[in-house]
Structure 1
Amino acid sequence: MADFSQEDLDELMGDVLDGGADEESVAALPQLASLVDDPELGRQAVALAGAIMASGAARDEHLANIFLAASNRLLPEADDYYAYLLAGQLAFEGTKHWPRLAQGLDLRYYDVPCPSCGTNISLVFELAIAKASYIDDIGDTSPLQPLDADALTGIARRLYDTASAHGRERVMEAIRYMFGRATCPLCATEFTVSDQVLGS
């Protein structure tokens, strides 16, 4: 792509979120870096770069520093891309590569397998429930147990405090659910949400 349009960014973002980073998306990073000051495309360009790097793309120190500085500047006033910029900072720093973090903080929803019986479970932060994904309506469910804010530590604490400083209550709540507990509604196995979603 010689020049990115809004449609190009939307398409590439969808591809990365659906299938992870590939050679084409990684090759787009320098051009995304050239857009960080664009008043219309800058936030999405940095959010997309975060998604690419979070997917495990080899970290380019120079580009990562450009994106990190831009995300620090854009984050306080970001709207649609707030969760992606917040999660992207971890990848820009090389701290953590959690490709599913941003989508969960944004959509507040995950599908995960039960670590015991393997049933696919939908974790719906908005309703504070876990339900078997094949159940069409709200039938057999179990409550999600968000971690108390005072118990958050490490990266979870940092994410929460950053969102708190920016007044992002929905993201703050999602972080508590992300690092909280869930119970399989079928076999009653209890597990930590982040273990299943983030792999750590």
Structure 2
Amino acid sequence: MAAAICVCGRLRRVKVDQETLDAAAANSISPAWGRIWNGPSPDGIWDLPEPAVLPWLARTCSAFSRRERVEVLALAGVVALAADAASRALYAQEIATLRALACDGLADEAFHDFTFVGLQQAVLGLDGEKVWSSELSHINGGEAELECPACESELLLCLEPGESTIEPGLSSELAERLHAEAVQAGRGFVATSLTKLFGRFTCPECRTTFNIADQVASGLAE
């Protein structure tokens, strides 16, 4: 599943022609998807469809199977997240439809944990959650790189299940929700990793204890 774009990065709005949209809607693995959503250009700018594409995304996702719509939902989450308040209000019904489809995918036991987390990110993007719609990718990466808030030591923390000096926790209502989703879906690996990402850690250099999630979010804001 494609990684979410951090909307604090550089975005360039593009209008996608109808021929490309038709080709993409006809086949979930069509090369046309690469013309709709691709990686950043050499100058570091992401091309992202305008919010007006949301109704088309909702129709396309509804016509696709669960497996076919995974990447489309990832795109929808980013488009909705980057949309302004007026666009989110205008396309509220389509965003709600896309969110329901993403939540439906969370129940699919055939999906890999990686895809499950990606769908959680899509839901968060559709909700307009600007931090964890991108930073939840640390679960799939298995680690979080951050600085101690006191002494600024660089730390690389392993989030995967196993022996760890991280004090497990769920430091916010959102963390509790994501954890409950993972438990309900039988995603033990994801659930345990979430308790680490939203847990506490004591810096080995200065012995300061801090919330890991707060530092991840702080690094995104810089």
TM normalised by structure 2 equals 0.65
Matched, 1:35 2:60: yes
RMSD over aligned CA atoms reads 3.3
Matched with 1:137 is: none
Code of the residue aligned with 1:46 in structure 2: it is L
Matched with 1:135 is: none
Q: Encode CA deviations 1:20-77: one digit per residue, 9 max, x unaligned.
A: 9x562455545543431323530121123224445x4333413311211211222211
Which one has a bigger Cα radius of gyration? 2
| 29-38 vs 185-194, which moves further | 29-38
Matched with 1:172 is: 191
Matched with 1:146 is: 168
* 1:113–1:120 Cα contact (<8 Å) kept: yes
Q: Distance in 1 between matches of 2:130 and 2:167?
A: 25
Q: Encode CA deviations 1:137-182: one digit per residue, 9 max, x unaligned.
A: xxxxx821111xxx66622222111111110011101111121111
Matched, 1:97 2:123: no
Q: Encode CA deviations 1:63-111: one digit per residue, 9 max, x unaligned.
A: 31121121122221143421121233233234x3223333022223221
Matched with 1:48 is: 75
Code of the residue aligned with 2:136 in structure 1: it is A
The alignment partner of 1:73 has SS state of: helix
Q: Distance in 1 between matches of 2:216 and 2:50?
A: 24
* 2:78–2:126 Cα contact (<8 Å) kept: no
* 1:50–1:85 Cα contact (<8 Å) kept: no
Alignment match of 2:107 (pick from 68, 72, 76): 76
The alignment partner of 1:76 has SS state of: coil
The alignment partner of 1:155 has SS state of: helix
Matched, 1:181 2:200: yes
TM normalised by structure 1 equals 0.71
* 2:38–2:47 Cα contact (<8 Å) kept: no
Q: CA deviation at 1:114?
A: 1.9
Code of the residue aligned with 2:118 in structure 1: it is Y
Q: How does 1:118-157 map to 2 (within 5 A)?
A: 118-126=152-160, 143-147=165-169, 154-157=173-176
Q: Distance in 2 between matches of 1:159 and 1:109?
A: 18
The alignment partner of 2:139 has SS state of: helix
Matched with 1:108 is: 142
Q: Distance in 2 between matches of 1:170 and 1:10?
A: 35
Matched, 1:67 2:98: yes
Q: CA deviation at 1:112?
A: 1.4
Note closer, same or farther for the CA distance 1:125–1:69 as it changes in structure 2 (3 Å cut).
same
Q: Distance in 1 between matches of 2:78 and 2:145?
A: 19
The alignment partner of 2:206 has SS state of: coil
